[in-house]
Structures are given as structure tokens and as C-alpha cells.
Structure 1
Amino acid sequence: MSEENSKSDEVSSFKLSESPAHLLRRSQQFATEIYSDLGLADNVTLRQSVVLAAVAEKEGLSQSDLVNTTGIDRSTLADMIARMEMKGLVSRSAAETDARAKSVFLTDAGRIALDEAMPAMQTVDKALLHALPKNKRKSFLATLALLHSAAEGVEPPKANGKNKDKSKGDKKKSKKKTSSKKKKSKK
């Protein structure tokens, strides 16, 4: 089979309805539509409310830290912060550790906007989860957390703090080390 036919087969076998990237994008659009339709947070968009929430969690984050926290690309976030600053929702000042970096802070108006947006954000979360069967909700959140960890380039958290991937041999070695430590501490 030629390379051209192989590529053609790949394209013809691709189904948008089975594409994780497309499905995630449509899910994000669904969340945005729910948020907008609620009309509870006329002052800020869903993405702006996410930025406000990130700043509220840790005042003084740099714009680079906000890029990492929110996942919004650098240029889009810079534009958003500039617009939010003009609206009086955030303020920026030179970072203490790096004069080139800007630290972002909520203003009183930003806190009010976040307080007004919070019910809408919570309603969106509930609506997304309620769109799923009850028995799928925890695994959905766990899957999203795994994707988030992958995006952050960090090892995903282990269930209950234990490493489920250890082989039996590794577990035995671990038990031996623990028991020998206990014996030494008794002496």
C-alpha cells in the first residue's frame, strides 16, 4: 500500500465524534454556554472569573505564574489582565523578586466581581457533573486531574498516597526496610 493511500485511510477512519481533543473543546464550549446563559456574572466571562479565582487563591502571582495556573496562553492572558486592569478588577505592580515581572492583585471591584461570578462558576461545575451518570462523576474528575497533571508535566498523584504500581517484590523490600527500622529503633 502506498504512503498516500495509508494517509487517506487514516483520514477516512478519523471520527470527530471520537476525538478527545474535539470532545474536550466542545465540553469547554458547553461550560461557557451554561455560564453565559445564567446571566449571574454580567461583569466577567468564565475565563476572567477563572483568572480572578487564581489571583484570589494566591495574591501577588506573576503573570507567568498565572499562565501556569490557568493554562491560558501568555499573550491571551496578558491581554486579559490588561483589560481587567482597565476595568478596575486587578492591579499590577513590579514583583519583589524580579523588577521585570508583574505581580497581580485583586482590587475591591475584582473581589466583588469574583463573589458575583462564584455562584455561576459553581452552577457550571454542578451542571457538568449532573450531565454524567452518578457512578461516572468521580472517575470523570479523576481523569481530568490526570490530564491536568500531564499538562503540568508532573507525576499524577497516587491513590490514597500509595503507589499502586509497585510490584510485589518492591512491596516486600519496602516491608523489610520498615521492619528493620522498627527493630533498630527498639534497641
Structure 2
Amino acid sequence: MSEDTETHARLGEIGLTNFAPYLMNRIMGRYNAMIREEMADVGLTTPKMRTLAVLSVVEGPLIRELAVYTVVEQSTLSRALDQLQTEGLIRREADASDSRAVRVFLTDAGRATFETLWPHMATSAARLFKGIPDEEQRAFVATLQKMLANIRKHEI
């Protein structure tokens, strides 16, 4: 029987607390809520925060790549980029090999803004793993990486 045709237990049989996608959504909802106030204090929304976070570690991605990394729809990302550029936190440049493509870079002000938020993000992430040994944390992250590879649509 293929994956597409095999019979799966019903959600009521599994239960919400045993359904990984539900748990992942709950966890990320709580994580985002934990840092929302700090984001607001520095004038950031979730798409803007994700953009600054990605740009702090990925140098000059194309906008389409940035949309994948940030898990933000391109139309929403475009509005966030407009605001971030107006605020002087990012800059956009035409790609050297394709003038129709645009790369996005973090400015010094953008890096400083992200560095203000990072301790709150790190503390919130650490809170997720409270009481979980390092070995289990590493195994969990490795499992998430495998799960992402299973569903990945993009190379990144």
C-alpha cells in the first residue's frame, strides 16, 4: 500500500496531544506570543522579525529565497521589506547576474535592532527546552531537520 492510499487512524483516535502538527503549531504559537511584546517594543512584526533573523545569518538572499527562509508569503514579505527599508533596517540591491532579481541585506541599524531582540528570542527558545537534557534537544532538532527534508519543496 502506498503512502497516499494507506489507512490512517482518525484524529479522534490519535488525540490532539499525540498529533505532531498540532503540537508544533501550539509550540510556535506560544513561542511567538512570548516574544511578541519585545518585538512590538522595537517596532517589529513577526514577518519583520523573521526577516531580520534570517538576514543576520544569511548574507544577501534573493527575495524568493528569503520568503522560503522566513516562511512568509511573498506579498506579506514585500510589505515587510518596504517597511524595513523605510526604517533603514535593510537595503535591497539588484542581483549582479540578473538585474530583475533583488537581493536583501541587513544594514548596521538592522543588525543592531535584531541584536536587541535576540536575547528575548534565545531566552524564549531556551524556555521551550527547560528540563530537557542536551542529548534529547539535539535528537529533537535532528528529527525536525529530517521532517523538514521530508516535506521540503525548495533546496533551502
Tell me the TM-score range normalised by the shorter chain. Answer: 0.7 to 0.9
SS across alignment from 1:98: coil
* Cα deviations by residue, 1:42-64 (Å, 9 ceiling, x for unpaired): 21245433321222323321111
* In structure 1, distance between residues paired with 2:36 and 2:26: 15
SS across alignment from 2:56: helix
**Matching residue of 2:111:** 111
* Cα deviations by residue, 1:37-91 (Å, 9 ceiling, x for unpaired): 5x37721245433321222323321111112323333222222222222222111
Q: Which moved more, 1:146-155 or 1:107-116?
A: 146-155
User: How far is the alpha carbon of 1:23 from its aligned partner?
Assistant: 1.2
* In structure 2, distance between residues paired with 1:99 and 1:141: 38
Aligned residues: 145
Distance 1:40 1:53, change over 3 A: closer
* In structure 1, distance between residues paired with 2:122 and 2:40: 12
1:89-168 paired onto structure 2 within 5 Å: 89-130=89-130, 132-134=131-133, 136-152=136-152
User: How far is the alpha carbon of 1:33 from its aligned partner?
Assistant: 1.8
* In structure 2, distance between residues paired with 1:46 and 1:23: 20
Structure 1 length normalisation: TM-score? 0.65
**Contact 1:88–1:109 (CA under 8 A) maintained in structure 2:** yes
Identity of aligned residues (%): 27
Gaps of 5+ in 2: 1-8
- The structure in which a higher percent of residues are helix is 1
Runs of at least 4 residues of structure 1 off by over 6 A? none
Gaps of 5+ in 1: 1-8, 156-187
Structure 2 length normalisation: TM-score? 0.76
Greater radius of gyration (CA): 1
